[in-house]
Every structure is written in C-alpha cells, then in structure tokens.
Amino acid sequence: MWLLIAFIAVPMIEIALFIQVGGLIGVWWTLLIVLLTAITGSYLVRSQGLRELGNLQKSFSELDDPTEPLAHGAMILFAGALLLTPGFFTDVVGLSLLVPSVRRAAFVWAKSKVNVQRFEMGENPHQRPQQPNDRVIDAEFEDVTPNKNRPDGPSDWTRD
C-alpha cells in the first residue's frame, strides 16, 4: 500500500516542484540544475561506493558483522538511482543519503525494526569444537628411504 502511495506521490511532487522552480528561475536553469545534480551525484556515489566496498572487505577479512557496510552500500546505490532520476525531490533525498550521518541514522532506525533470530559467521572462538582436532587416519604405507645395507651392484632382477 505504501509503495503505491509513493509511486503516485513522488511524480506529483516532482511535477509541482518543476513548475515552481521553472517559473522562478527559468526552464534552462532548471534543466542545468537537474543535469548538474546527476553528474555530481554520480561522482559522489562512485567515490563513496568504493569507500564502502573497502569497509565491507575489511569487515569480511576481520570476520566482523557485515550488515552495516552492506546497508550503507545499498543506501548509496539507492541514492545514485534517485540522483539520476530527474527531479528536485529525488535529488534532495538522494543527496541526503550520501551524508554518512544520515545513512547511519537510517541504519539504526532500520536495525530497530528488524529482529535477527540467528547470525553466524566463521567459527566461534569461545565455543570449543565437539570433536578433537587430531583425527586418526587409517592408511597403509611403504618406507621408500634408501637402505644402507643394500649392495651397490645391480639388483637380482636384472641378472641372467
């Protein structure tokens, strides 16, 4: 239901803002502002997205919880889509999602709404494994080290 309201309300807000801003500053300045926000937004999304990708890789390598860098990356991706959409309302929302403190507040709000039942990543260092680490392997072997008591001549197999 909320998605339907958003699909109806956002274009109506954008049209109203285009009419108001275009009437104040003119059509060409309005189009220039929309174009500049798309270009600037693309640059900001790329730089912040690469930074968040580094944070995500760091959390994986340190076996930390990757949910925050993943959420920040998703919000940056959504901000990029909003900035590429022509309009002033979507530009304001997209630019606000590029501010780290706004993303952090949105993450805290979303985290309070989600109930995680279980999360595991790697081995738990505080929990001892149930089975011992030294396992017995049943195998046959043949010693191939050189025998020092063997004569230096040819073997009995090659004698006629």
CA distance 128 to 130: 6
Residue-wise burial string across 119-142, b where 16 or more C-beta atoms lie within 10 A, e elsewhere: eeeeeeeeeeeeeeeeeeeeeeee
Between residues 141 and 69, the one the model is more confident about = 69
Look-up of token digits 């239901």 = 1
CA distance 70 to 94: 17
Between residues 111 and 145, the one the model is more confident about = 111
pLDDT in tens, 80-124: 999 888 889 999 999 999 999 999 999 999 989 888 777 666 665
User: Predicted confidence band at 63 (pLDDT cuts at 50, 70, 90)?
Assistant: confident
| pLDDT at 140 (0 to 100) | 83
User: Predicted confidence band at 132 (pLDDT cuts at 50, 70, 90)?
Assistant: low
pLDDT in tens, 3-13: 899 899 999 99
Looking at residue 75, its amino acid is: M
CA distance 59 to 29: 44
pLDDT in tens, 23-51: 999 999 999 998 998 898 889 899 999 99
